[in-house]
Amino acid sequence: MIGYTEVIQTMAAMIIFSMILISANSMIQRNTTMQIDGELEQEVISLGQEIIEEARSKSFDEQTQGDMPPSIIPGGFTPTSEFPTNEDQESRERAMFVAFEDYHNWSEIITTPHGDFNISVEVYYVDETNFEQVEAQTTFKKIDVTVTSEFLRGGNEPKIYKLEFIRNYYAE
């Protein structure tokens, strides 16, 4: 009888040890996933911020590039209807952009060591009081940079990261 007790105790110890290993493995896997997600999110923010900083370095408007600003502000700024369209996408290179609104409707897939990131940009005028999109020219423009990656998911759907910046003509 004594032999059976030792076998049962050994089997119970093996079961407990297996449960501890499964729990530890699950915790290690969860921590690794969180670490990878954190690195990918840092990459997303870095790429989005790079586009925003680059756009900020350009002229506020195509019309403000020269020595003389437009005679009517904001009426002399580029109308929204003249911002680049999706059809212009193929003929535009980011290196050739000279004004803030040149980034409107621009998109690209950027490949990094962390994978491919889809970046799309929208630029529009915003109201001076509540910063909501308007069609009329104002002294405020907003840039929305949207970044997605197939590796960053919220359930079954890819997560969408949106970075925003509001620029004021007078704050240059």
Residue extents of the structural domains in the chain: 2-171
pLDDT one-digit tens code per residue, 99-154: 999 999 999 999 999 889 999 999 999 999 999 999 999 999 999 999 999 888 77
Q: CA Rg, the chain, in Å? A: 27
pLDDT one-digit tens code per residue, 37-75: 889 999 999 999 999 999 999 999 988 877 777 888 898
Residue 104 backbone dihedrals phi, psi, to 5 degrees: -60, 135
Secondary structure letter of residue 80 according to DSSP: G
Q: Are 46 and 88 in contact (CB under 8 A)?
A: no
What integer pLDDT is reported at residue 60 of this predicted model?
Answer: 93
Q: Which residue has the tokens 């704050």?
A: 171
Predicted TM-score (pTM) of the model is 0.81
Q: Are 61 and 100 in contact (CB under 8 A)?
A: yes
What integer pLDDT is reported at residue 87 of this predicted model?
Answer: 77
